[in-house]
Amino acid sequence: MDQAGRLMAFWEYSKNPSQGLESDDHNLNVVSNSLSGGDDVYYDQVGKMEDDLIQGGLPGQPSGLNFKQYSGPGCSSLGIGAMVEIGPFGVNPDGITLYAREHTWTEVANVLFVESPAGVGFSYSNTTTDYNFSGDNRTAQDAYTFVLNWFRRYPQYKDRDFYIAGERFYIPELTDIIINGNKEANPTSMIQLKGIMIGNGILDLETDRRGRYDYAWSHALISDETHQELIEHCLSSNSPKCNETRGRVGDEIGNIDLFNIYTPRCMNSNQSRKQPKCHEGFDPCEGNYVRTYLNLPQVQEALHANRTKLPYAWEACSGDMDAVVPVSSTRYSIGALNLTAIKPWRPWLDDVGEVGGHKVVYDGLTFATVRGAGHQATQSEPLRALSLFKYFLAGN
């Protein structure tokens, strides 16, 4: 089953509330996982529940805040999701101290960040060859097994509403496994799946490509001639002519950040201590600060991470200003689902009454944009992203 098929399966599943237990407890659990990952393997993690607590807080953490980290085994959900985008803390330019983030999603939900597949961030496998056999099916099955084991370990959460949020193509695959697992599970072991939230969704390669080419052209990043050749030669193949055309794209676009085309690039590849930090604004060098912080020995010790003491460096990778997975790609992909709109395209308002973006509502699916946001909408437009998340949890 392809990504679109999995999404449609969830759409049908969501129409039947009897497949999940109802709960009046609306403390929510959101799983954020990233990158792609054949076989069904779960990487056991040793330790006791009390060992999961970060004793005394994180190094550099402001006083008066408590923080729990649940580690599991691409892009890091801890490094990017928690430390750059939606977690309670961000890293200051010194790479040593933390600040309390405004508009954190932990204000409105219990958030469980999952490193996936094994090998991402501080996660690891006890069998080195496992890293050579990672794939979509294996990653989804590992994530599902992790969720089941996490609920067994923390049963006080198992009857709460469960939402999955993430980027690209992971979410439909994990959702599909949960739906099928719930069909076979007894009522006490079902996952109370209530909704999914996909950022920068990729459902189909051809529609994604066309959307990227159209976005670059419509935002005056490439020429008419290059756009036409991309459409003619690159939608469904990688012919020599396509490769030749793609070779010109970089020259035409220039040295800009395609993940956020109207913001500056980080001009210092190392620590950017000379660049002022603005907690309210977008800092293109924030990933560098996080990389430095998570490589500090005292931080790794506090996180119970890198226990092998291997000398590797932690690496991070990286709306409507995103040219990598642009809004046009998403619109083409949703159009291919042939859904009927029940509420037409219209603006939605953020928490301060400004237009936060636009949305269209289908039966079982809402497509929304975040105005002024790049690829990491929660980083570049945190207030609007949080407003949208609140709407999602409220079912609006």
Nearest to 41 by CA among 122, 144, 120, 185: 144
Q: Is 315 exposed, middle or buried (0-12, 13-18, 19+ CB in 10 A)?
A: middle
Give the CA-trace dihedral at 141, 147, 149, 155, to 10 degrees: -160
HSE-up (13 A, CA, CB side) for residue 290: 24
pTM: 0.70
Residue by residue, pLDDT tens for the chain (396 residues) are: 665 566 556 556 555 543 332 333 222 222 222 222 333 222 333 334 445 555 556 666 554 333 332 333 367 888 888 898 889 999 999 999 999 988 888 888 888 888 888 788 888 888 877 777 777 788 888 889 988 998 899 888 888 888 888 877 778 888 899 999 998 878 777 888 888 888 877 777 788 888 889 988 888 888 889 999 999 999 887 889 999 998 888 888 888 788 778 878 887 645 444 444 443 467 888 889 998 998 888 888 888 886 556 555 554 444 556 666 677 888 878 888 888 888 888 889 989 888 888 888 888 888 888 888 777 778 878 888 889 888 888 887
Query: Rounded to a whole number, what is the largest CA-CA distance in the chain?
Result: 62
Per DSSP, 81 falls in state I
Sorted by where each begins, the domain ranges of the chain are 3-199+267-302, 205-261+321-394
* Residue whose C-alpha is closest to residue 321's, from 216, 225, 226: 216
Q: Is-cis flag, bond preceding 347, omega within 30?
A: no
Which pLDDT does position 79 carry in this prediction?
Answer: 87
d(CA 206, CA 200): 15
Q: Which pLDDT does position 312 carry in this prediction?
A: 54
Decide if 3-199+267-302 and 205-261+321-394 have a common fold.
Answer: yes
| The pLDDT value given to residue 115 | 83
Amino acid 308: pLDDT? 57
Residues 182-203 as b or e (16 or more Cβ within 10 Å = b): beeeeeeebbbbbbbbbbbbbb
The predicted pLDDT at position 56 comes to 54
CATH topology of domain 3-199+267-302: Rossmann fold (3.40.50)
Whether the CA torsion 5, 9, 14, 15 is positive or negative: it is positive
Burial-class residue 274 by CB neighbours within 10 Å (0-12, 13-18, 19+): exposed
DSSP 8-class letter at 61: P
C-alpha–C-alpha distance, residues 294 and 301, integer Å: 10
Q: Are 357 and 348 in contact (CB under 8 A)?
A: yes
Instruction: Count CB neighbours of 287 within 10 A.
Output: 22
Q: Which CATH number fits domain 205-261+321-394: 3.40.50.300, 3.40.50.12280, 3.40.120.10, 3.40.50.11320?
A: 3.40.50.11320
What pLDDT does residue 231 have?
Answer: 92
